[in-house]
Amino acid sequence: MENINLDDRSTKLIYTKYNKDEFIKEEIETVEEFIEDEDESYVRWLDVIGLSDEQVLRDICDKFQIHPLVIEDILNIDQAPKLEDYENSLYVVAKNIILENETLYQEQISFMIYKDKLISFRFKDTGIFDEIKGRLKDGTALRKDQSDDLLYALLDIIVDKYFIIMEDIGNKLDDLEDETLENPDKSILEKVYLLKRELIGVRNVLWPMRNTINSISKNEYDIINGHTIYYFRDIYDHIIQIIYINETYREIASSMLEIYLSSIANKTNDVMKVLTIYSTIFIPLTFIAGVYGMNFKYMPELYWKYAYPSFWILSIIIIIYMIRFFKKKGWM
Amino acid sequence: MENINLDDRSTKLIYTKYNKDEFIKEEIETVEEFIEDEDESYVRWLDVIGLSDEQVLRDICDKFQIHPLVIEDILNIDQAPKLEDYENSLYVVAKNIILENETLYQEQISFMIYKDKLISFRFKDTGIFDEIKGRLKDGTALRKDQSDDLLYALLDIIVDKYFIIMEDIGNKLDDLEDETLENPDKSILEKVYLLKRELIGVRNVLWPMRNTINSISKNEYDIINGHTIYYFRDIYDHIIQIIYINETYREIASSMLEIYLSSIANKTNDVMKVLTIYSTIFIPLTFIAGVYGMNFKYMPELYWKYAYPSFWILSIIIIIYMIRFFKKKGWM
Amino acid sequence: MENINLDDRSTKLIYTKYNKDEFIKEEIETVEEFIEDEDESYVRWLDVIGLSDEQVLRDICDKFQIHPLVIEDILNIDQAPKLEDYENSLYVVAKNIILENETLYQEQISFMIYKDKLISFRFKDTGIFDEIKGRLKDGTALRKDQSDDLLYALLDIIVDKYFIIMEDIGNKLDDLEDETLENPDKSILEKVYLLKRELIGVRNVLWPMRNTINSISKNEYDIINGHTIYYFRDIYDHIIQIIYINETYREIASSMLEIYLSSIANKTNDVMKVLTIYSTIFIPLTFIAGVYGMNFKYMPELYWKYAYPSFWILSIIIIIYMIRFFKKKGWM
Amino acid sequence: MENINLDDRSTKLIYTKYNKDEFIKEEIETVEEFIEDEDESYVRWLDVIGLSDEQVLRDICDKFQIHPLVIEDILNIDQAPKLEDYENSLYVVAKNIILENETLYQEQISFMIYKDKLISFRFKDTGIFDEIKGRLKDGTALRKDQSDDLLYALLDIIVDKYFIIMEDIGNKLDDLEDETLENPDKSILEKVYLLKRELIGVRNVLWPMRNTINSISKNEYDIINGHTIYYFRDIYDHIIQIIYINETYREIASSMLEIYLSSIANKTNDVMKVLTIYSTIFIPLTFIAGVYGMNFKYMPELYWKYAYPSFWILSIIIIIYMIRFFKKKGWM
Amino acid sequence: MENINLDDRSTKLIYTKYNKDEFIKEEIETVEEFIEDEDESYVRWLDVIGLSDEQVLRDICDKFQIHPLVIEDILNIDQAPKLEDYENSLYVVAKNIILENETLYQEQISFMIYKDKLISFRFKDTGIFDEIKGRLKDGTALRKDQSDDLLYALLDIIVDKYFIIMEDIGNKLDDLEDETLENPDKSILEKVYLLKRELIGVRNVLWPMRNTINSISKNEYDIINGHTIYYFRDIYDHIIQIIYINETYREIASSMLEIYLSSIANKTNDVMKVLTIYSTIFIPLTFIAGVYGMNFKYMPELYWKYAYPSFWILSIIIIIYMIRFFKKKGWM
């Protein structure tokens, strides 16, 4: 699976802070505004979109004493999902899957989570968190006390997207199944192959995501509260279910390929039967016609009165015999 | 595997309460009647059929302080079987498999189990629990003290259904095996494919069911009594056995496909042999006949007296030679 | 694998008791005789053959307080091998494999083991324990103090039978291998398929048997003495070895099928070559002969003196050229 | 995967020592210079290149009491990557993968790590550590206090090389995919096969490397400091990711082979259709032409005025009929 | 894999005893000599070659109180490698693999190890331990204090033989690879199949050997000293490596079979193309020639002056057209 197109990577800083009573969202110019605001009565979320401006990351890292390897991982677009535990923070890498123009792309999103704040790093604004921001603004249900609830909401929306992707693949698979069983033609090969690649690509995201969510929901990190664990377990259940679906789809795609191969073999067999029936009926007849087309001087049959009708009778007998022979073999 | 048809989802509340001496079953209008009846000398079972009326669920959840995620899971028809442990209750999701018109459907059934009561949530009345209700009414053997015995009875009936489903698939497989070995034709491909899909579908229910039952029978939850554990282990053994059968059937189906593919290859080989035998015998003969059908002025053979009989003798020699050649090759 | 034929299930009770000095074996009429004989200086073995008379089981269960699920399992002929641990007894289900008329059948044998007695339940007398009874009667080597030694002897004889079964399958496989490599014909497909089914069937017995024996030899149940553990580990080693053999045989059978498929493809290729060689040699020649069989008035070649010999020379050149062409391609 | 060419194995000893302030690198003649220099204020690294002079190893082993098996392993070029823990040292074997002339080679590198010094053993100078030496000389970022930081840097550069190798294989795979889907020809078989061998070869290096790095990053050996563990975990994550990629590539290569096989079957089917269409159209027509080429004296049709046009009309009807027949079958 | 030929099984007793200073080796007549010599200042090794004389075993067992099951295992030539722990001894079964006349045989060797003595049981003298005896006699390096060092030396020589066997198989595989890619012919099928059987056979020895050596090197048995553990781990590493190689070879063999199958399909496709090209070119031409060979009285073309040249022009046009058609299809 390719990464999303990253032509435009200008850095944008969206700073959201909220508590039960208030919700403030603004685009800030420099990361300082976020760093300096230490009001712990809010959950503070800095959404860093576009990572071309490395200075922003360095400023954050300097301020919050983030391990230099983390910066490297945030900037490495091929980083697999994972969780790393630091002294007073968690570093989480997740992958979002996007369906665009019938192609799947992956989008890498990193999170630094502290007790009272969360920083998300995205390479591009694909709109994945717009819904969350809307819900935070509109209602207060999501506006809970700590950053782990926010992390849950963000990961949940990412994992929910997987279901939509799998449903799309499922639909394509159903179409292919109909085609394969009813009217298999060559294009199926390529379609099944590409579907299998998509499934392999999605699986490569699912497995490390599963491990990551599992770590969050199992090992009780200080940052993740006891009551939030249930929520993360719920995400974990979802991923497990998507992995099951993925596994099932891959098996079905493999079965379909087998069926297709068998149906090609069947078709070749059919073609051969038609050729064989025509050939074996007419080849002996043509030989006989050839015999009586010879110009030997002494060929008594040529002068018999009923030779020609006899020839036809013989031909018809041979044809009937051959047809019965093929019918007995089940070829007609 | 598709879900059962859910066109009619009007909510019905069947309230059953019993102890060793008494058995009362009635349809109640509002969930209040169940909530307010707190007589702990009975095992109380509320069977909620049809989940269109979400208010019923919300009332129950409010009253019994059920986690909001549980409601979501109950209403999500694609929830995989699982067990969740809450403070004074267990939440269990199970899947029943139904065979209707030669097609398998799955029916999702959720349970909330408390020490003295059990609430089951079903999307539709498929009659799965009718037998249990009858046995509860008729005899007292099932009317044991606690809700965990009832849970056992309900899960047991669900798992027993799997055996029936597997037996039906087993019979179809035996028929297919006979067809494949004796008279393989094209329809086998589709039949084996659909059987494999059914087996994959059933397996996707079996594995999470296995994990669920395993959790019940292993971790001694407060709600599950020591003596009931034996019974749940029995269900667990049954599921393991069904999983074995499923695995075996899938292997057999795969073997059958291999056999079928080989038998197509064999058939094509047979067809080719017939074509080759006829062609290679008559093609040279036709050539010779063609030669003596040429109109060259100077062709001495044409005027020989025994040319024509010689032609036939030559033809017969060639035919005999070719037949022996093919017999030696084992093609005839 | 089918169960053994169970047409005749009349119940027979064989009561054997022995210690180092004495050996008594008798057929008893009612189970009471066994129940009432509580002389602990003997190892007492009740061999219940034929399970049609459920009352016998109920009497035993009542007397020895056996869990009702155990009775159900004993009577359920499709019970997989397993071990269950009860307060002062072990319940063990084993499967014997019988080869009859080239077909494998399974025979289910259940055991209830107590410190000083053992009850075996069999559906039919297949003679599996005759050898043990003989050895108990003849020598004193087997007549050890406790029922666990007897259980070892009985399970050992069952597992030893597996080796004989695998040897039979191994012989068939060797025959098939020779056939496949030297003279593959269609019947191989069916034979390999049936062999694979047999191997799958045997494996389905082996795995739960392995788990069962493993439980006995690992967890030190009170009933199994420390010194007997070595013996059970020995049985366990045997089963592991048989599982290895089974796995190996299945791989070999799969390889054989691949080889067979390839050899069919090879044969088809050979047939095609013969057809192609004959056709491509004679088709152009026949065309030329056809040309000079045309009746055009103005065809100068027809009147040339050396036309006919030239025709033959041309034909021979074409034939030689084609043969060299095919030789170069490696088809001849 | 073959080992790198080892024709020239003359032994060279490169001795590097550094601390935050100083960096000294020199080629030394005898190993004594290294052994005798015990200044612990430096990290001391002896890079032994070329292992033909066994005396060097023996001297080092004698001096530092290295286990004789280690020497054996260092000299055994087919040693798999591994980690061994000795009293005050760690012995690590790693494999570098080199791409040369489109072929992959492996280079075995062994390390003996002590608190304050590191000895690396290489069979040949492939330049793998040149970059590290440059960075050590230029900047001070790498010049940390202990040998474990150096080990990290050396292993990191080795593992980073794997990504480059996998990228190269990935590119080849993409090219092959295009070829397979668009214009499959015979050379694909060999290319896919060789690619699969490469992937198997790389995997055989990756798995033991994974275990080795895992041991370093898990079991807190005295020599590996707490803060370095993070770095080794980072390497571990990289290897896991490369293993994922390798696994994925192998699956894709297998799928490609399946697709190729199916496309060959398809092509054969196409060829057969062309043959069958031509043959079945013209074979009956040729027969009819043959009939009227017969020389029977009494053949009334020969003298009919419209016989010849009728023949053509009949021929055209047959051709049209056959074409419609093939169109209906979907062969044209 | 078959067992080595065991026609000659006469029993021979080779008694070796040594310490750092002395080495004594003699053939003894009766086992008593060994039993009675209890001088613990030597390591004493009794090498029992040929097991036909069961009395020898019984004597040893009686003297050293060996479990009767061990005798049974020693005599059972199909015993899989294993380790059993007894009170003051270890019982180890190993398998040596021998390459003779291009066929692999296995040789079973059992060991009873005590603190100060080792008894080895072999069915036949295949020379496997000659090298060890020579090294014991010549130098003192091997003459260490305890029997576990001797056991290491004996097992090491057995495992080293596996490398030689795998190298031989690797060479055969390389030859087959060249054949498969360059000039695949039928014999490859059988060769690959037999190679796969060999690899399966070797693997069946490797896995239990791995478990056996692992037990020795992990669980610190009293008899195995701490410092010897390193040596056994070294053997363990070797076996792991051989298992990797075996796994790799089996994958390569499977890939080769796939390639072969595809190349057969390719060849059939080529043959079909040749047939189709010739047939489709000449079949229509032959028809036309047939048409003008008809004897209809009224066929105007026959009398046209340029009919015959026109026929040839038409033929050439058709041929050119067909060749371009096939070229466009890529068949020529």
pLDDT at E8: 64
Q: A214 exposed, middle or buried (CB, 10 Å; 0-12, 13-18, 19+)?
A: middle
More confident: B307 or E227? B307
Q: Is B273 on the interface with A (CB under 8 A)?
A: no
Find the residue in B nearest to A270 (Cα).
B268
Closest B-chain CA to C298 = B295
Nearest to C264 among B181, B252, B262 (CB): B262
Q: Mean of the per-residue pLDDT values for chain B?
A: 89
Mean pLDDT of D28-46: 86
Q: Is the pLDDT of residue A219 over 80?
A: no
Segment A4-9 mean pLDDT: 71
CA-CA distances (angstroms) from residue D64 to D44, D57, D58, D67?
A: 14, 10, 10, 9
Dihedral sign of CA atoms D188, D192, D193, D194 in order: positive
Residue of A nearest to D163 (CA): A78
Residue E283 and residue C283: Cβ atoms within 8 Å? yes
Instruction: Flag whether pLDDT at A309 surpasses 90.
Output: yes
What is the rounded distance in angstroms from the CA atom of residue C185 to the CA atom of residue C81? 39
Is residue B78 within 8 angstroms of chain A, CB to CB?
A: yes
Q: What is the mean pLDDT of residues C125-138?
A: 88
Q: Do C267 and B269 touch (CB under 8 A)?
A: yes
Beta carbons of E244 and D283 less than 8 Å apart: no
- DSSP conformation letters of B253-283: HHHHHHHHHHHHHHHHHHHHHHHHHHHHHHH
Range B47-70 average pLDDT: 84
Over residues A5-30, mean pLDDT:
85
By percentage, how much of chain B surpasses pLDDT 90?
51
Q: How distant is the Cα of B299 from the closest Cα of chain A, in angstroms?
A: 10
Q: How confident is the model at residue C284 (pLDDT cuts 50, 70, 90)?
A: very high
Query: pLDDT tens, D179-234?
Result: 988 888 888 889 999 999 999 999 989 999 999 999 898 767 888 887 888 889 88
Interface residue E297 vs chain D (CB under 8 A): yes
pLDDT of residue B221: 83
Q: What is the pLDDT of residues B238-293, one digit of tens each?
A: 999 899 899 999 999 999 988 898 999 999 999 999 999 999 999 999 999 999 99
Q: Between B255, B266, B283, which is nearest C278 by CB?
A: B283
Q: What is the DSSP letter of C301?
A: G
| Residue of chain C minimizing CA distance to E300 | C296
Q: Which residues of B fall within a CB distance of 8 Å from A234?
A: 69, 73
Q: Any CB–CB contact under 8 A between C179 and chain E?
A: no
Nearest to B297 among C186, C197, C303 (CB): C303
pTM as predicted: 0.85
Mean pLDDT, rounded, of chain D: 89
pLDDT band at residue D38 under the 50/70/90 scheme: confident
Say if residue B8's pLDDT is above 80.
no
Segment among A74-83, A158-167, B32-41 with least mean pLDDT: B32-41
pLDDT of residue A166: 94
Question: CB–CB of A292 and D295 under 8 A?
Answer: yes
Q: Is the pLDDT of residue E209 over 90?
A: yes
Nearest CA in chain C to E266: C269
Listed in sequence order, the DSSP H helices in chain D are: 32-36, 54-64, 68-75, 130-138, 147-182, 187-218, 226-291, 307-329
Q: What pLDDT is stored for residue E29 in this prediction? A: 86
Residue A38, pLDDT above cutoff 90: no
Would you call D296 and A311 a contact, using CB atoms and an 8 Å cutoff? yes
pLDDT at D170 (0 to 100)? 93
Is residue E283 within 8 A of residue D283, CB to CB? The reply is: yes
Nearest to D294 among A186, A257, A293 (CB): A293
Both structure tokens of C203: 């494996």
- Asked if residue E7 has pLDDT above 80, the reply is no
Q: How confident is the model at residue C9 (pLDDT cuts 50, 70, 90)?
A: low
A–D CB contacts, 8 A cutoff, strictly below: 121
Query: What average pLDDT does the segment E9-13 reach?
Result: 81
Both tokens of C184, joined, read 């593959």
For the stretch E153-186, pLDDT in tens is: 999 999 999 999 999 999 999 999 999 888 888 8
Helix then strand then coil, % of chain E, to nearest 5: 60, 15, 25
Q: Phi-psi region for residue E64, left (φ > 0), alpha (ψ -120 to 50) or beta?
A: alpha
What pLDDT is stored for residue B98 in this prediction? 92
pLDDT tens digits, residue range D290-317? 999 999 998 998 999 999 999 999 999 9
DSSP SS3 for C32: helix
Distance from CA of C134 to the nearest CA of B (A): 35
Q: For D105, phi and psi rounded to 5 degrees?
A: -125, 155
State residue E77's pLDDT score.
86
Please give the residue of chain D at the shortest CA–CA distance from E243: D204
Across D93-121, average pLDDT: 92
pLDDT digit string, tens, across residues B218-238: 767 888 887 888 889 889 989
Is the Cβ pair B289, A287 closer than 8 Å? Answer: yes
How close E103 gets to chain D, by Cα (Å)? 26
CA distance to partner chain B, nearest, from residue A258 (Å): 8
Cβ contact (<8 Å) for E286 and D282?
yes
Does residue C8 surpass a pLDDT of 70?
A: no
pLDDT level of residue D41 (50, 70, 90 thresholds): confident
> Is there a contact between D92 and D158 (Cβ–Cβ < 8 Å)?
no
> What's the mean pLDDT in C272-277?
94
Q: Looking at residue E219, what is its pLDDT?
A: 65
For chain E, what is the mean pLDDT? 89
For A:210-249, CB contacts with D below 8 A are none
Amino acid A19: pLDDT: 87
Report the pLDDT value the prediction gives residue B219, as an integer from 0 to 100. Answer: 65
* Per-residue confidence (pLDDT) for residue B59, from 0 to 100: 83
Amino acid at E67: H
Look at residue D328 in the predicted model and tell me its pLDDT: 93
A269–B274 CB contact, under 8 Å:
no
Note whether E285 contacts C286, CB cutoff 8 Å.
no
In the prediction, which pLDDT does B9 show?
65
Distance, in Å, from the CA atom of B21 to the CA atom of D243, rounded to the nearest integer, reads 65
Q: Which residues contact A259 (CB under 8 A, 6 or more apart)?
A: A180, A181, A184, B189, B190, B193
Rounded distance between C-alpha atoms, residue B63 and residue B132, angstroms: 27
**Strand, coil or helix: E94:** strand
Cβ distance of E308 and C296 shorter than 8 Å: yes
Chain segment D8-19, per-residue pLDDT in tens: 667 889 999 998
Under a CB-based contact definition with an 8 Å cutoff, are residues B274 and A280 in contact? yes
Confidence of residue D118 (pLDDT cuts 50, 70, 90): very high
B118: confidence class by pLDDT, cuts 50, 70, 90: very high
Q: Which residue has the tokens 């003279």?
A: C183
pLDDT given at position A57: 81
| pLDDT score of A85 | 85
Count CB neighbours of E142 within 10 A: 18
Measured between alpha carbons, how far is residue A116 from residues A88, A177, B120 in Å?
11, 50, 40
Residue C300 CA to residue C303 CA, distance in Å, equals 6
Query: What pLDDT digit, counting tens, does each position of A102-127 carry?
Result: 889 999 999 999 988 999 999 988 88
pLDDT value at residue C54: 79
> B touches which chains (3+ CB pairs under 8 A)?
A, C
Residue of B nearest to C253 (CA): B255
Residue C137, pLDDT above cutoff 90 = no
> What are the C-alpha distances in Å from E235 to residues A28, C222, C295, E108?
63, 39, 89, 18
D53 within 8 A of D28, measured Cβ to Cβ: no
How would residue B47 be classed by pLDDT, with cut points 50, 70 and 90? very high
Centre a 10 Å sphere on the Cβ of residue C190 and count the other Cβ atoms it contains. 14
